[in-house]
């Protein structure tokens, strides 16, 4: 069993995929992990798997499409733990083809709205709601799961390595999330809280698809590193593992 180090982490969308791997790897470091999930039953099943590995895991209902659940998460954490050391905003959606088409002239208002609701607005809502609890931690860490597809610099290169990936709703939602990361890090720069954006890689998940080159077991490296940064660690950056990515 992992020996508790007293830290508390919330990982949204943690019942499977990147979120689950992130919760597992944080938990194996002795951090108590709270799985924020839409489906509590699937969350409980994931928590049981983690507990079998010796991880101290709990479950709370969180649905990015239901803003009121952010307050319910805050109430749960306040009641059971009294603070929050780590917030990993992992939950996200993709409602377009990831690669092979540019839908800039055809993307619907509904797809844009639903994508931004989960990938951007809900992240801000939850982060703002939980910030008072993070401020109670000795060294708060906020990790926003972004994507290299949010990089305007890379998209605009003549020889862009992501030239084929022009899913406008998903990509721009991650660009917006990157901007929020920079702004929040700036606001908190004189505090003990660090805020960073993470590109986990192109991962074989339900969102990433079966042709992605990275196995899900390797997908948590960037989030875990940023969630456990020391006092001399970065803030306001965009990273994949140890590499700095361009905005």
* Each residue's pLDDT tens digit, 100-128: 889 999 999 999 999 999 999 999 999 99
Grade residue 3 by pLDDT with cuts at 50, 70 and 90.
Answer: low
* C-alpha to C-alpha distance for 26 and 223, rounded to whole angstroms: 9
Which has the closest alpha carbon to 118: 150, 86, 95? 95
Residue 168 located in a structural domain: yes
Residue 141 located in a structural domain: yes
Per-residue model confidence (pLDDT) at position 98: 82
* C-alpha to C-alpha distance for 77 and 82, rounded to whole angstroms: 6
Query: How many degrees, rounded to 5, is the angle at CA 7 between CA 193 and CA 87?
Result: 50
- Print the domain residue range for 33: 8-244
* Each residue's pLDDT tens digit, 146-161: 999 999 999 999 999 8
Q: Which residues of 197-223 are buried (b: 16+ CB within 10 A; e: fewer)?
A: bbbbbbbbbebbeeebebebeebbbbb
Reply yes or no on whether the pLDDT at 177 is more than 90.
yes
- Report yes or no: 132 and 227 within 8 Å, Cβ to Cβ: no
Residue 117 located in a structural domain: yes
Catalytic residue among 62, 76, 170, 180: 170
Per-residue model confidence (pLDDT) at position 207: 52
Per-residue model confidence (pLDDT) at position 208: 47
The model's pTM is: 0.93
* Each residue's pLDDT tens digit, 60-89: 999 999 999 999 999 999 999 999 999 999
Tokens for 106, please give them: 């055809």
Residue 2 located in a structural domain: no
Query: How many degrees, rounded to 5, is the angle at CA 190 between CA 22 and CA 188?
Result: 50
Per-residue model confidence (pLDDT) at position 204: 41
Reply yes or no on whether the pLDDT at 137 is more than 70.
yes
* Each residue's pLDDT tens digit, 11-50: 999 999 999 999 999 999 999 999 999 999 999 999 999 9
Residue 3 located in a structural domain: no
CATH number of residue 47's parent domain: 3.40.50.720
**Is 62 annotated in the active site?**
no
Query: How many structural domains is the chain composed of?
Result: 1
Task: Provide the β-strand partners of residue 2.
Answer: none
Per-residue model confidence (pLDDT) at position 99: 83
Place of tokens 């910030």: 131
Tokens for 139, please give them: 């060294």
Residue 148 located in a structural domain: yes
Per-residue model confidence (pLDDT) at position 211: 52
Grade residue 216 by pLDDT with cuts at 50, 70 and 90.
Answer: low
Mean pLDDT, all residues of the chain: 92
Q: DSSP string spanning the chain?
A: -PPP-S-EEEEETTTSHHHHHHHHHHHTTT-EEEEEES-HHHHHHHHHHHHHTT--EEEEE--TT-THHHHHHHHHHHHHTS--SEEEE------S-SSSEE-TTT--HHHHHHHHIIIIIHHHHHHHHHHHHHTTSSS-EEEEE--GGG-HHHHHSTT-TTTTEE-HHHHHHHHHHHHHHHHHHHHTTTSS-EEEEE---SBSSTTT-TT-SB-GGGTTHHHHHHHT--TT---S-EEETTEEPP-
Reply yes or no on whether the pLDDT at 218 is more than 90.
no
Share of the chain above pLDDT 90, in %: 85
User: How many residues are present in the chain?
Assistant: 247
Residue 104 located in a structural domain: yes
- Report yes or no: 17 and 42 within 8 Å, Cβ to Cβ: no
Residue 206 located in a structural domain: yes
């Amino acid at each position: 069993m992992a020996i508790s180090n007293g830290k508390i982490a919330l990982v949204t969308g943690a019942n499977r995929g990147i979120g689950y791997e992130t919760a597992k790897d944080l938990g194996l470091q002795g951090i108590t992990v709270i799985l924020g999930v839409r489906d509590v039953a699937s969350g409980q099943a994931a928590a049981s798997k983690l507990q079998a590995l010796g991880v101290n895991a709990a479950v709370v209902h969180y649905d990015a499409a239901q803003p009121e659940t952010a307050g319910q998460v805050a109430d749960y954490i306040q009641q059971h733990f009294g603070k929050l050391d780590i917030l990993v905003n992992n939950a996200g959606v993709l409602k377009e083809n990831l690669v092979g088409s540019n839908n800039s002239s055809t993307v619907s208002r509904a797809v844009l709205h639903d994508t931004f609701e989960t990938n951007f607005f809900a992240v801000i809502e939850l982060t703002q709601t939980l910030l008072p609890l993070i401020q109670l931690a000795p060294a708060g860490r906020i990790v926003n799961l972004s994507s290299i597809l949010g990089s305007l610099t890379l998209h605009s290169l003549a020889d862009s390595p992501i030239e084929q990936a022009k899913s406008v709703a998903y990509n721009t939602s991650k660009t917006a999330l990157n901007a929020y990361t920079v702004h929040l890090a700036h606001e908190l720069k004189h505090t003990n809280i660090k805020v960073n954006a993470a590109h986990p890689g192109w991962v074989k998940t339900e969102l990433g698809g079966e042709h992605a080159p990275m196995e899900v077991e390797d997908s948590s490296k960037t989030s875990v590193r940023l969630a456990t940064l020391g006092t001399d660690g970065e803030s306001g950056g965009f990273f994949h593992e140890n590499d700095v990515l361009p905005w």
